[in-house]
Structures are given as C-alpha cells and as structure tokens.
C-alpha cells in the first residue's frame, strides 16, 4: 500500500464557484487532479484529503462530488475544511453508501501499518492589542470576532487531542491531518503543533494556503520531531503527492 495526499480539491459539481480567481493555473483543475489520480494511484493505495473537498452547501448537493472521488482508485480518508459547509454528522455521511471513503470526525482510522487522525483546526488568532485609533464601535466588533474565533480555536484543540488520543498506542506510522496550517504568522508552531508533538505523531499534512501570497506562508520540514507537509492542490500543481519514507527524513 502506497500513501498519497492532496487537499483543497474544491470540486464544484454545480458550476457556481470557479477557482480561476486564484490564477489561470486553476482552470480545469478538477480534470488535472483526476487525470493524475487515475494514472498514478491503484486500488490498494491510500489517499489522504485534508479538507475543502466540495463547494456544496448541503450534503445532498455534495454527493455528486463525493461520488466522483469514491469512484477513483484507492481508499480515501477525509477531514473537514473551512469551506465544507455540507459536512454533517458521521452517521449521515456514512449513510451515503460511499464504498471507498472514510470521514474522520473526532476519531481516527487505521489501514495496515498506518493510523490517521485529524481535525479541521482553525487560524491562529491575533491577540495583539487593539489599535488605539479605531473607533469604539470598531473595537467592539473586532473584540467580538476575536472571542468567537478563540472559542472555535479552543474547541478544535480539544477535538484534535481526542483524535490523537485514539492512536496513542499504535505502533506503526502515525499521520495527522489538519486543514489549517499549524503555524503562527511568524512561522512558529501553534498549539495544534504542540499537541502533535505530545502525541508522537510522525507526519502532519495540511492545506488551505492558495496562490502566491498563501504559498509564502507554507512551512515544511521537521519541527519538534514531527514532519510537516503542505498538500494544497495548487501548491502541488494539482499532482497528488506520494508520501514516502524519503519525505519523512
């Protein structure tokens, strides 16, 4: 079994969200991904997808996109991205009768000598002091948004701890998927990275970062014993990345 990964498929079965606003390289991106997939992945392989799978707003509308992935070669494991508004309870998603897809929801999955955990994560909340030149109304709005984002950030940390806990005794390769990069704007690991270190995770795959400006924020390599790899589809030039032992050195 080989291991592959790609995030941010941004499939658009309803043809309502063209991705070429991020650049001409996104034109026909779905065709590029699927062509590479069919030519390079076999039914025995494992494909990890860290979020932003479909632009659909409801599960029934995402089914068409999920079915396309289900019919591609390989076994697939998915987590939720920030644009996966269709994502519902695990029972509802499992009831779609997709035969090759597993969804991680506060748990983990295992295939042979590989265990996979994960969670969407959240962006690193700026805790700097408010700009004194802002009006009181602007300060109030910013502070309310900050508190809301801190609540989501803390909740996602709890979910990651629970997911990592599921594979703490696994003796094989331990992989975590996050949608948001687990780095501060300064390039340092945030609290999500600390949880991965404590859980003795071998590899973390993340996405979310697009375009020239987004790619400037990509951090890869080994931090605190965990290897980090960005697998946003455009960062990979829409070619699914094979995860090899060489990539974990």
d(CA 206, CA 118): 10
Burial zone of 55 (CB within 10 Å; 0-12 exposed, 13-18 middle, 19+ buried): buried
What the chain holds in terms of domains, given with CATH numbers, is: 3-248 (3.60.21.10)
Question: pLDDT, tens digit, for every residue of 107-147?
Answer: 999 999 999 999 999 987 664 444 555 566 655 666 678 88
Tell me the C-alpha to C-alpha distance, in Å, between residue 127 and each of 45, 216, 218.
Answer: 42, 22, 22
* pTM of the predicted model as reported, rounded to 2 decimal places: 0.91
Question: pLDDT, tens digit, for every residue of 81-92?
Answer: 999 999 999 999
As a whole number, the mean pLDDT across the chain is 90
């Amino acid at each position: 079994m080989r291991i592959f990964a790609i995030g941010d498929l941004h499939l658009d079965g309803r043809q309502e969200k063209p991705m070429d606003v991020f650049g001409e390289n996104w034109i026909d991106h779905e065709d590029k991904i699927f062509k590479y997939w069919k030519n390079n992945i076999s039914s025995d392989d494992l494909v990890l997808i860290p979020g932003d799978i479909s632009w659909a707003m409801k599960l029934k509308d995402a089914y068409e996109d999920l079915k396309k992935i289900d019919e591609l070669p390989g076994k697939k494991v998915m987590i939720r991205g920030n644009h996966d508004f269709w994502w519902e309870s695990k029972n509802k998603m499992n009831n779609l009768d997709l035969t090759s897809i597993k969804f991680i929801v506060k748990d983990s999955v295992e295939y042979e000598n590989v265990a996979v955990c994960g969670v969407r994560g959240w962006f690193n909340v700026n805790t700097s002091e408010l700009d004194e030149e802002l009006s009181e109304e602007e300060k109030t709005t910013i502070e309310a948004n900050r508190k809301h984002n801190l609540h989501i950030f803390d909740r996602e940390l709890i979910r990651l701890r629970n997911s990592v806990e599921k594979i703490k005794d696994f003796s094989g390769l331990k992989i975590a998927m996050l949608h948001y990069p687990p780095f501060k704007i300064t390039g340092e690991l945030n609290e999500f990275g600390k949880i991965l270190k404590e859980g003795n995770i071998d590899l973390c795959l993340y996405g979310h970062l697009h375009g020239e400006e987004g790619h400037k924020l990509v951090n890869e390599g080994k931090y605190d014993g965990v290897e980090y790899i960005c697998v946003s589809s455009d960062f990979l030039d829409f070619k699914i990345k094979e995860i090899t032992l060489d990539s974990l050195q």
